[in-house]
C-alpha cells in the first residue's frame, strides 16, 4: 500500500487542485497544519469534547488548503517545485524516479514516523517536551522531504530539457 497515493485519493486531488497547490502560499501555509492539529488535540484539556470543533476545522483546512489559492503565475520558486516534485514522486510507479532519491526519502519517512511516535506520546501524556520534540522532528523531516522533492523536480526537468535540446539538434 502506498501511503502517499492513499493520501492523494483521500484529499481528492485532481489536476486543477494540484496546479492551485503549486501556489507558494498553499505550500507555506500547509506548514501550519501540524501545529494547529496538535493544539486542537491538546485543547481537550481546556475544552473537553468541544475540542472536536478545532480538530474538525483543522481537518477541513488540511483538505481545503490546496484549493484555497489561485494557480501561481510562475512555478520558478522553491515552493512550487516542491509540489511539482511531489507529483512526480507520486507517479513513480509509471515514471520511475532516479534511484539515489529513494534512500533519502526513506530516511525522511523514518524520521517522520519517529516524530509521530513522540508526538502521540506527548499528546496522550500531555508532555510538553515530547509533544514539541515530536513536532520539531516531523517538521524538519517534512522540510527535508520537500527539499528532496525540489531536487527530484529539478533533476527531472533538467534531464527533460537536455533530451528535448538533443532531439532538436537531430
Separation of alpha carbons 158 and 95, rounded Å? 16
The 10s digit of each residue's pLDDT in 47-93 is 999 999 999 999 999 999 999 999 999 999 999 999 999 998 888 88
Sign of the Cα pseudo-torsion (118, 129, 103, 11, in order):
positive
Closest alpha carbon to 18 in 77, 78, 65:
65
| 110 pLDDT tier (thresholds 50, 70, 90) | very high
The 10s digit of each residue's pLDDT in 12-42 is 788 899 999 999 999 999 999 999 999 999 9
Q: Is 20:67 a contact under the CB 8 Å cutoff?
A: yes
The 10s digit of each residue's pLDDT in 111-126 is 999 999 999 999 999 9
Separation of alpha carbons 85 and 153, rounded Å? 4
Buried b (16+ CB within 10 A) or exposed e, 77-95: eebbbbbbbbbbbbebeee
Judge if pTM exceeds 0.85.
no
pLDDT over 50 at 135, yes or no = yes
Amino acid at each position: 500500500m502506498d501511503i502517499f497515493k492513499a493520501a492523494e485519493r483521500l484529499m481528492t486531488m485532481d489536476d486543477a487542485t494540484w496546479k492551485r497547490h503549486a501556489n507558494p502560499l498553499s505550500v507555506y501555509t500547509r506548514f501550519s497544519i501540524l501545529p494547529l492539529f496538535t493544539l486542537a488535540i491538546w485543547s481537550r484539556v481546556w475544552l473537553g469534547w468541544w475540542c472536536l470543533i478545532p480538530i474538525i476545522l483543522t481537518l477541513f483546512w488540511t483538505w481545503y488548503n490546496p484549493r484555497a489559492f489561485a494557480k501561481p503565475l510562475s512555478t520558478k520558486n522553491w515552493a512550487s517545485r516542491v509540489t511539482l516534485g511531489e507529483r512526480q514522486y507520486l507517479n513513480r510507479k509509471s515514471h520511475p524516479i532516479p534511484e539515489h532519491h529513494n534512500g533519502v526519502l526513506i530516511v525522511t519517512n523514518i524520521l517522520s514516523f519517529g516524530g509521530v511516535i513522540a508526538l502521540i506520546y506527548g499528546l496522550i501524556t500531555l508532555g510538553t517536551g515530547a509533544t514539541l520534540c515530536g513536532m520539531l522532528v516531523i517538521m524538519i523531516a517534512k522540510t527535508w522531504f520537500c527539499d528532496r522533492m525540489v531536487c527530484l523536480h529539478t533533476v527531472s526537468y533538467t534531464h527533460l530539457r537536455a533530451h528535448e535540446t538533443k532531439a532538436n539538434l537531430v
